[in-house]
Amino acid sequence: MKWLSLLLAGLLSIISIPAGAADLYLIKIENQTALDAANRIVGSARGMVGDRFLVDLSADQAGQLSGAGISIEKIESSYTGGKLFLISPVSSNYVVEPKGISYLYTRDHLYLAELGEKEIGTLRDEGFQIVPIGDRTTPFFYHPPLVPAPSMAFYPSDTLADMVSQDSLYSYVHRLELFKTRYAYSDSISAARDWLMSRFAEFGYSTISLDPFIYNGHSLQNVVCLKAGTTEPTRYIVIGAHYDSYCQNADPYITAPGADDNGSGTGAVLELARILKDVPFKYSIIFAPFSAEEEGLIGSAHMASEMKSQGTDIDFMLNFDMISFTAGDADSVLIFNYPDYFRSNCFRDAAGRVTDVVPMQYNGANGSSDEYSFYQQGYRTVGFMEWDFNMANYHRTTDLTTNMDFPYYQKVVKIIAAALGVINNALPPVNLSMIWAMVILSVSLSGTILNLILIVSFTAPIPQLRPGDTPIRSISLPGNLNTILPA
């Protein structure tokens, strides 16, 4: 019977190996051709790690993608492990390596790893954001680069900055602090949610709703307030911030004041809703306080995924997370942008016009906050965070309004208000895969001038023109071919 035992052992060993087990890869999509190939060969991704898509590939799929000219990088063979998480520092100014874990991959201070509940809690307390990867599929996407718009000589909409009130900002954050805790699983999160809805109603909005979702057996809700657009109501700007809080040096069910993190971001959303209420805006605006950000960007991930599945046309998503603390004399603010500087430059320029705050631009989505959820669905994002990260009070009982810098906080919101005014008055950005240009060539034949018309097609974006700009007449074409476009 020895032969039978050996046969059975061999069969069991074969069964234990998943047939056709896929390998774990990262791929980067850098043009429309690559996007088409990825959609055809794979379909969708598990999620994002930086600017790369995390995918499961068979050997045949890997070969097809490589043959299509797509950059691929294998990070694990025949992956059959547990749930994956993306680990990122809470601020680009607080960059440390997570200790005591083994990770599958790391790049640009992002770490991909399998984690248990104990490890998640430890990393969170050490100042890392932990985001689950693979709970939702991520569509492949590619954004052609946009040409920065010429500067305007006059900015009448900067008067919106003058409407930002420090007293209003204080009242919002102080009230949020008085809930004692806004921990996602506490009873107080519901009271905070209802208070936010009442504030939007007091400003005069009528389209206010909840965006419900279930996480870890808890029923949670994002708050949604709609300001309808005038000329392009089906195109949206999402203005969001998380309203939940967390505390690591006390029981978060009882105490998690979360003034800077993230009463400050939520207060900015409320103040912008207040000042924009009666300002005609061409795009529709969704004001969105998110829940369960502290649990891994859960609320924003739910909303972004739903919007993508419904085909919502989002111009960009604007997020605020911890924007009210300074530690030194020089005031700076971090501005994150993805995939390029096209929208964030409006905020950078506004900083110099309406405040003395120095904008520090970071090319990439903030992996530790809610804009990352929208980035993972292929939407353009801009995010704000204080430059001097409030590490001493982060997730502690000392995260109070008494430790906030309200003059600085007001300046940051002024920057945002002024930039939104510019975006409202600008012509919309245009992405065209093909632009047709007419080149007129003059040729002399036997003393007779003949004008030959050559039609050239090329891939390039059209520059954004703003009111008062001089139309651009000449642009540079690929291959150093220059031509003149009629204005």
pLDDT per residue as tens digits for the range 202-230: 999 999 999 999 999 999 999 999 999 99
Cα distance between residue 414 and residue 354, in whole Å: 7
Does 466 or 281 have the greater pLDDT score? 281
Nearest CA-CA partner of 27 in 60, 2, 51, 63: 51
Q: Is the pLDDT of residue 459 over 70?
A: no
**Model pLDDT, residue 92:** 67
| Domain spans of the chain, in order of start | 21-133, 156-425, 435-484
Looking at the structure, give the CATH architecture of the domain made up of residues 156-425. Answer: 3-Layer(aba) Sandwich (3.40)
pLDDT in tens, 272-300: 999 999 999 999 999 999 999 999 999 99
Secondary structure of residue 384 in the 3-state scheme: strand
pLDDT in tens, 164-204: 999 999 999 999 999 999 999 999 999 999 999 999 999 99
Q: Is the pLDDT of residue 455 over 50?
A: no
**Model pLDDT, residue 74:** 93
Average pLDDT over residues 325-351: 88
| Averaged confidence pLDDT in the chain | 83
**Model pLDDT, residue 108:** 80
pLDDT in tens, 386-405: 999 998 999 999 999 999 99
Secondary structure of residue 198 in the 3-state scheme: helix
Percent of the chain with pLDDT over 90: 60
Q: Tell how far CA 169 is from the center of its chain.
A: 24
pLDDT confidence tier of residue 368, bands split at 50, 70 and 90? confident
pLDDT confidence tier of residue 152, bands split at 50, 70 and 90? low
CA angle centred on 167, ends 316 and 199, rounded to 5°:
60
Q: Is the pLDDT of residue 98 over 70?
A: yes
CA angle centred on 105, ends 102 and 108, rounded to 5°:
115
Residues 6+ apart with CB under 8 A from 330: 358
DSSP 452-472: EEEEEEE--PBPP--TTPPPP
Cα distance between residue 253 and residue 179, in whole Å: 11
Residues 6+ apart with CB under 8 A from 60: none
DSSP 229-272: -SSEEEEEEEEEEE-----SSS-TTT-B--IIIIIIHHHHHHHH
Angle, to 10 degrees, between the axis of helix 265-276 and the axis of helix 188-203? 20
Q: Is the pLDDT of residue 60 over 50?
A: yes
**Model pLDDT, residue 132:** 87
Rounded to the nearest 10 degrees, how much is the dihedral formed by the CA atoms of 105, 246, 214, 300?
-60
Cα distance between residue 478 and residue 9, in whole Å: 63
36 — phi, psi (to 5°)?
-60, -40
DSSP 323-357: -S---SSS-EEEEEEES-STTHHHHHHHHHHH-SP
First-to-last CA distance in the chain?
89
Tell me which H or E stretch contains 5: helix 2-15
290, β-bridge pairs: 242
**Model pLDDT, residue 352:** 93
**Model pLDDT, residue 7:** 40
pLDDT confidence tier of residue 20, bands split at 50, 70 and 90? very low
Nearest CA-CA partner of 434 in 463, 462, 458, 464: 458
What global pTM score does this model have? 0.81
Q: Is the pLDDT of residue 447 over 70?
A: no
Find which of 91-105, 430-444, 458-472 is predicted with most confidence, using mean pLDDT: 91-105
181, β-bridge pairs: 256
Question: Do the beta carbons of residue 368 and residue 74 sit within 8 Å?
Answer: no
Cα distance between residue 73 and residue 54, in whole Å: 10
Cα distance between residue 383 and residue 381, in whole Å: 7
Cα distance between residue 448 and residue 438, in whole Å: 22
pLDDT confidence tier of residue 483, bands split at 50, 70 and 90? very low
pLDDT confidence tier of residue 93, bands split at 50, 70 and 90? low
**Model pLDDT, residue 207:** 96
Nearest CA-CA partner of 315 in 468, 463, 426: 426
Rg of the chain over CA atoms, in angstroms?
25
pLDDT confidence tier of residue 366, bands split at 50, 70 and 90? confident
